[in-house]
Structure 1
Amino acid sequence: MATAAARSIGEPGGERGEFGHGWKVVTAALIGIGCGLSPLPFYTMGVFAPHLIAAFDWSVAEVMAGLMITTFSVVVGAPLAGALSERYGTRPVALISIVLFSLSFMSMALLQGSLVQFYITWGVIALVGSGTLPITFTRTVNRWFDKRRGIALGLAMSGTGVFGILCKPYLAWVIGDWGWRAGYVAIGAIPLVLALPIAWAWFREPAGEAAEHLTAAEKLIGVTKGEALKSWRFWTIALAMLIVSFALGGPVPNLEGILKDRGLDAATILSLTPLIGLSAIAGRIVGGLLLDRFWAPAVAFVILGLPSVACWVLSQGTYDASTAAFAILMIGFALGIEYDVLAYLTSRYFGLRAYSGLYAILYVFFALGSGIAPLVFGRIRDVTQGFGPALLTSAIALPLAAALFLLLGRYPRFEEDAA
């Protein structure tokens, strides 16, 4: 084991040495998460919706309800993926989940007009695809990185934004030439063709010589799941993430409607909405760098609390395109750091001993908040004839929820506890 002095100047365990050993794992995680359950269904549902409505005479609400089905299925699938990762390791769970997620997504091409079939298929997709969520990939990234953990997680998580941006024009091209059934096959094949071979080659737990650079903080030490579940810190993080994910998850799917209500034309709206994905990628990278250099709860408080201003701006009666762009960039930047904060706080406050299981439970709170928010925002819009009250609710909730992170205190010293 390298000494602290040697590690500080870039030997295998040092900051620069971490990426020298772990860049392949980060790359595999980036592509695995990007081709997984987090981005693909949510970024493609809006593209498929008009074709399903035309083919089967379904309503918009009936099609979008598929996303709610995935949320409820993840409530079961995420803890299951976490438990399997702790028992068998993240590599087999991720590899098997990539295959099953790919095949089940492609099976959407077999739809025959039954909403029951549509919803059951979405439930299966989310259940078997839960192993492609950050639950598995971030556990292994955390094991490879300590000093540069924040930026490593940020790079890995940026896959959702990258593939979220790229898959829409790709899908539009496929559907335009070959139809929506081919679209489901084309999107479903991406994990099988791209993520699987890279994960097979590069996604591995550190072992043998590769493990020699790990410090005690990077090894599988920390609290047990039972100890964490009795900790007030765990439930503080859960509550904060539930509120934050709801407050940020409501405006994004309804962004087109919010801007339309404020009088912006279709061309302007089309030019503004991609800013969400671009700023989310920036949020992951910059947020990861900040997490490595500053106390994570303070970073979370600032970045996740600031979109309160954006929600307030969007709730106002009128604003121009530049003001809307500023608000969208602020929301997208915060969306980019959500996953990073959740993974980083879990590893720092509870260690890696029961990381997958604990992250999975916290992810359920995150998924519930972001899953129900679009419908609640839509319902408020129907009742009040505007998104203003919902946006003001988010503006109030975000700084209050972000302030909860400041209660967490200093990071535990698991090295000393283990000794």
Structure 2
Amino acid sequence: MSAKSIPSEVKSYWHILLTAMIGTGCGLLSITFYTQGLFFQPVTEAFGWTRAEFFTSYTILMLLGVITGPLVGRLVARFGVRRVGLLGLFGHSLGYLLLAVNPGSLALWYLSYAALSILAAGSLPITWTALVSQYFKARLGLAIGITMSGTGVAAALAPLYVRFGLDTFGWRWTYASLGLMAWVLATLAVLAFIRRSGPTQTPTQQAPENQEGLSPRQAYRSYRFWFVNAAVFLISLAVGGLVPNFAPLLAEKGIAASDVGTIVSLLGIAIIAGRLSAGYFMDRVWAPLVSAIYFSGTVVGIACMLMPAPLSMGTAGFAAVMAGLALGAELDIIAYITRRYFGSRHYSEIFGSVYVFFAVGVGVAASAWGFLLDWTENYAPILWASIALIVFANVLILMLGRYPRPGHAGSEAPP
């Protein structure tokens, strides 16, 4: 693709980018991931649950991704983004309504999260990155970054709304209204800008080489597939409990409750910056190197949170920015590496399989943080363990080697 076609690529498909970004920001992974910690205190105070009991619900939600991730990938390949995305967004709203009407039953709370994971699966980033991967080649990294910046927008805005809702109307109304608003906004975008619902969303003017790549079976036989999965699992295990526990961690470090929402929103702004900047650099620099640099930022952020309390607002804010930049780049890097090393022909199915390891890592981490904190009443051991896991994951990513040459799965191209 010529340099002249690069701006026209973005100009021609801006509506695809906007829809994918809104769909990602209003979907299951974004809204739940970045607001769960704020609901912890009012829900546990209302029902008398422990930290571990509350966050086990998030473990259930993510572990069901073992089933829903690959399934969504196959459904997108067969039925198209429009149908799968619309159903997932509607299911997301229904799931939040189930949480809002819980009478105080822990078993029902867990079942509601299981239902949310299944009903909202079509709103996962698997759906939206599959859409942009079929339209973009020259600036695929930037396109994925813009798409995934939807999670950063959600991380910046949703906590502010949730804080307002909790203080004004209570947690039940906040759950219900949050799900409803996300559904309406994203559904309008999908209906307005995605007109086709067939198995492929590929425009006629796109070059056929964009649809090259390995089959799922070929990918599963590749060492790169398992190195990517191992790294994804380790990083997800390391940081999966950080975001839902970030607000309680700030409180333990002496940050006033009135300032916690501000710092969490700063985390969201940094996530947006991480999304966009990682996409920009991956279009120009070898993606595993970009990955190692960004995830090293998470190590710096975690190290700041290991400092003794009370933390200053400046230190807490710096930690949020450093962690946010890396957290923002995480799914972008996973999606980009999946596309560059395994191709786009079966992208949604292969990414769905990679998502399994992300979901398991985050799910296990959410529960592990809860149990370990109830047991030790100390964040330090799990923060140190997270640093070690990130370092090991960086080593695995750097061992992926050069990108395969287009049309030659067995050969390599310069990074």
How far apart are 1:339 and its partner, in Å? 0.7
Q: 1:377, CA displacement in angstroms?
A: 3.3
Query: Are 1:25 and 1:204, in contact at CA under 8 Å, matched by a contact in 2?
Result: no
Matches within 5 A, 1:19-418: 19-203=10-194, 211-218=203-210, 220-264=211-255, 266=257, 269=260, 271-317=262-308, 320-415=312-407
C-alpha deviation, 1:266, in angstroms: 4.8
Deviation at 1:174, TM superposition (A): 4.2
Q: CA deviation at 1:270?
A: 5.2
Give the superposed CA RMSD. Answer: 2.7
Contact 1:110 1:181 in 2 (8 A): yes
Give the total of aligned pairs. 408
Per-residue deviation, 1:206: 11
**Structure 2: how far apart are the matches of 1:327 and 1:181?**
31
Tell me the distance in 2 between the aligned counterparts of 1:244 and 1:352. 24
| Mean CA deviation greater in 50-59 or 126-135 | 50-59
Quick one: structure 1 residues 380 and 261, their matched pair in 2 at CA, closer, same or farther if it must change by over 3 Å?
same
Q: Provide the C-alpha distance between the structure 2 equivalents of 1:211 and 1:340, rounded to a whole number of angstroms.
A: 23
| TM-score normalised according to structure 2 size | 0.89
- Higher mean C-alpha deviation, range 87-96 or range 331-340: 87-96
Cα distance 1:71–1:87, how it changes in 2: closer, same or farther (>3 A)? same
Query: By how many angstroms is 1:359 displaced?
Result: 0.7
Distance in 1 (CA, whole Å) between partners of 2:344 and 2:67 is 22
1:144 alignment partner, SS class: coil
CA displacement, residues 77-121 of structure 1 (integer Å, 9 cap, x when unaligned): 111111111222222211222222222322333322222222112
SS at structure 2 position matched to 1:273: helix
Instruction: Say whether 1:8 aligns with 2:3.
Output: yes
Rounded to whole Å, the distance in 2 between the matches of 1:184 and 1:250 is 21
SS at match of 2:404: coil
Q: How far apart are 1:185 and its partner, in Å?
A: 2.5
Unaligned runs of 5+ in 1: none
- Alignment check: 8 A CA contact 2:37 2:245 kept: no
1:254/1:31 CA distance change after superposition, 3 Å: same
What one-letter code is carried by the residue in structure 2 that aligns with 1:228? A
Change (3 A) 1:67 1:18: same
Please give the alpha-carbon distance, in whole angstroms, between the structure 2 residues aligned to 1:274 and 1:212. Answer: 41
Flag as ranges the 4+ runs of structure 1 deviating above 6 A.
Answer: 205-210
Larger displacement relative to structure 2 (206-215 or 263-272): 206-215
Would you say the 8 A contact 1:174–1:182 is kept in 2? yes
Sequence identity of aligned pairs in percent?
35
Q: Could you list the per-position Cα deviations for residues 149-186 of structure 1 after superposition, in whole angstroms to 9, with x for gaps in the alignment?
A: 11111111111121232223334444555444332331
Q: Distance in 1 between matches of 2:370 and 2:347?
A: 35
Larger mean Cα displacement after TM superposition, 27-36 or 360-369: 360-369
User: Which has the bigger relative contact order, CA under 8 A and spacing at least 6?
Assistant: 2
Q: What are the Cα deviations for residues 35-62 of structure 1, in whole angstroms up to 9, with x where unaligned? A: 1101222333334444434544444433
* Aligned mates of 2:231, 2:53 — CA distance in 1: 30
Unaligned runs of 5+ in 2: 411-415
Give the structure 1 partner of residue 413 of structure 2: none
TM-score normalised per structure 1: 0.88
Change (3 A) 1:374 1:67: closer
Q: Closer, same or farther in 2 for the Cα pair 1:194/1:206, shift >3 Å?
A: closer
Within 1, Cα distance between the matches of 2:139 and 2:347? 18
- What is the Cα deviation at residue 395 of structure 1? 2.1
Contact 1:245–1:370 (CA under 8 A) maintained in structure 2? yes
Amino acid at match of 1:403: V
